[in-house]
Each structure stands twice: as C-alpha cells, then as structure tokens.
Chain A
Amino acid sequence: MQITVIRADDSVTHLALSGRLDVQGVNAVKDQFTFQATARHRATLVDLAQVSFMASLGIGMLLEAARALRHRGVKMVLLAPTADVRKTLESAGVQQVIPIAATADAADALLQ
C-alpha cells in the first residue's frame, strides 16, 4: 500500500492510495495517511482508483481521518473506487458519512 500526494495547496489536499487496504496495508500507511489527510486542515480528496482491496480496517482508517477533518469543519470525499471496493464501502454505509464520487469533477463539486 502506497500513498501519493497529488496536490496540496490552499484549497485541497489530494491523496492517492494504491494497493491493498488490508490489515498489512493499513499498518503500513495509517500514520502517514492520517497525517497527510488531516494535518493541513484542508478539504481532502482520497483517490481510491488504484486500491484493489478494502477491508474493514481500511474503512476504519478512512472514517478516522474524515472524523478529524469534520471536527475542523472540512470535508473528505472518496474518488473513483473500483466496483468491488465501492460495493464494500456501500455495504458498510460509508457513503452516508463520506461522499463517494466517480469522477474528479463530481468530487470537486462535493468538496465545495
């Protein structure tokens, strides 16, 4: 599991995750992800297009970051999960608390 900072400016933090968000993947990146996502107190876009697998611990990592951002009054949006990852997220009811966008344009609109 890897994290790439796509963009970090005054308006948004855009992070891309790639690989498996299983127990090993979460252990490998959780601290770095949490820091990258929350330290700047900016609206955060988490690109999931290259995430091949999402377990409950991965969902927990996303929820924790979203909570921290919400506490600061900023939003998180998840971008372009694969069909299987999206099904996992929706089965866990994630979309009810963190918006999921299929495209970058839709994500930008949700972050406003």
Chain B
Amino acid sequence: MLPTPCCNDVGKQALMASAIEIILTNDLRELVQVHAAAQQLLRAHAIVGTAAYIVDLTLEEILTNTIRHGYQDAERHQIVVCVSVLDGIIELHFVDDGREFDPTAAVPVDLSVPLEQRRVGGLGLHLVRELTGAVRYERRGRENHLWVSIAAG
C-alpha cells in the first residue's frame, strides 16, 4: 500500500512556504538522492551549515531505521518524505507503511554505561531527539507519520 502524499497538509500552502516531496523505496542506495534533493531545497533558501547538517543527519537516521527495521517482508515498499521550509523552520514529514513504530516512545539510550556496554541500537533516534527542535508521531491507518522540526538558523 502506497503512503499518502504528505505535502498537502493544511498549513503548507502559505505564501512563503517551500516544499518538496521525495518518494523512495526501502533501498538504502536511494538515500543519496534524498540527501541531494533536500540539500538543494535548503540551498535555495540559503540554509547551510549546522541546520543543513542536522537535516542531513535526521534524514539519514530516520530513513535508515525505517528501511532496515520497518518491514517484515522482502517486498518493495515506498516511503515518502516531505521537506518544507516556512518562517525559519525546516520540517521533515516521513510517511511509511511499515510496522507500527513510534520513535518518540523508544527507550532512551543510556550514555552512562562504559565502553564495553555501549551499543549503537537506538543511537540514531537519540541523536534526532537531541539535535532537532520537535518530534511528533501519529499512526494513521496503516501508516507511520513522523514530523521533525529543525530551526533554520
């Protein structure tokens, strides 16, 4: 089942908004195009530096997580990412039809453990929560919807 388009949300029609919708499959090799498209939009809005880096990191961590862990079959699935810029806020909206997963409810990573006990699992979501402004999740029917907001400056 294809995820619904995500750049039609009410509020995205504001005059100063700019948005792109990127459709990819659950193939890690497609991340390169996602990064390139997002960075092109940000450059058009003169958004570079740390804000652009955090967008890049969020895309990498969320999409890698979805592609590697979101599906229990070997089928091809579509994932939709909407990147929008409005009033100094970059918003990323991810839509997938994978298994239900709320990143905001993931168990926090314990950074106090010694090196021998440090694991990578959950670290990507931890970085997204630490480095971005707001993260919101909804399950809509058979789709996961995740919004991440990042300050542009």
Main secondary structure of the interface of A (DSSP, over half): helix
Distance in angstroms from A34 CB to nearest chain B CB is 14
The answer, among B28, B53, B61, B120, for a CB contact under 8 Å with A60, is B120
Interface residues on B, range: 20 to 34
Is A40 an interface residue when CB atoms closer than 8 A count as contact?
A: no
| Interface check B105, CB cutoff 8 A | no
Partner of B61, one of A55, A87, A93: A55
Task: Decide yes or no whether B57 CB sits under 8 A from chain A.
Answer: yes
Say whether B124 contacts A55, CB under 8 Å.
yes
By a CB distance below 8 angstroms, the chain A residues around B123 are: 56, 59-60, 92
Does A79 interact with chain B (Cβ within 8 Å)? Answer: no
Bound CA span A98–B31, Å: 29
Return the contact of A92 from the options B28, B50, B56, B127 (Cβ within 8 A): B127
Q: Is the CB of A53 within 8 A of B57?
A: yes
Number of interface residues of A (CB under 8 A): 23
Return chain B residues, CB-CB under 8 Å to A91.
Answer: 126-127, 130-131
B-to-A contact residues, CB < 8 Å: 28-29, 31-32, 49-50, 53, 56-57, 60-61, 64, 111-112, 114-116, 118, 120, 123-124, 126-127, 130-131
Interchain Cβ contacts under 8 Å between A and B, 18 examples: A22-B31, A23-B31, A24-B28, A24-B31, A53-B56, A53-B57, A56-B120, A56-B127, A57-B64, A59-B120, A59-B123, A84-B49, A84-B50, A88-B131, A91-B127, A91-B131, A92-B123, A93-B111
Q: Which residues of A contact B (CB under 8 A)?
A: 22-24, 53, 55-57, 59-60, 63, 66-67, 70, 83-84, 87-88, 91-93, 96-98
